[in-house]
Amino acid sequence: MAQYLMLHSYDPRTAKSESQPGVMKAIVDSFTEDTYCIASWLAPGAGKIACLWEAPSEQAIIDAYSPELNIPVDGIFPTLVIDWAEVKKTMAGS
């Protein structure tokens, strides 16, 4: 399955912590068997969120992503993940 990086911009000053459980449920409810978010990283100081998705296509993510979340999408990009801890282990073993 292909992996994609979905980038968002948001204003951390207006993000309400009490709404986070509802947002998290809406995100999880948007997942399908073959289209789902693996992990997300928030950088409040930069006002950015990066989400790593696994999906058959970019369009599958667009179709699954709930407009109710009200989190603007800056872009969706095919991506490759490098696990540097695994690279380090592999290099140490050679």
Q: What is the CATH number of the domain that holds 68?
A: 3.30.70.3090
How confident is the model over 28-58, as pLDDT tens digits?
999 999 999 999 999 989 999 999 999 999 9
Which one is predicted more confidently, 16 or 45? 45
Identify the pLDDT of residue 14: 76
Phi, psi values for residue 33, rounded to 5°: -60, -35
Q: Is the pLDDT of residue 20 over 80?
A: no
Domain that holds residue 51: 2-92
Strands (E), the chain: 2-9, 36-43, 48-55, 73-78
How confident is the model over 54-90, as pLDDT tens digits?
999 999 999 998 777 778 899 999 999 999 999 999 9
Q: Could you give the 3-state DSSP secondary structure of residue 3? A: strand
Identify the pLDDT of residue 70: 77
Identify the pLDDT of residue 41: 94
Identify the pLDDT of residue 19: 63
H-run or E-run covering 89: helix 84-92
pTM score, whole prediction: 0.84
Residue in 33, 19, 35 with CA at minimum distance from that of residue 71: 19
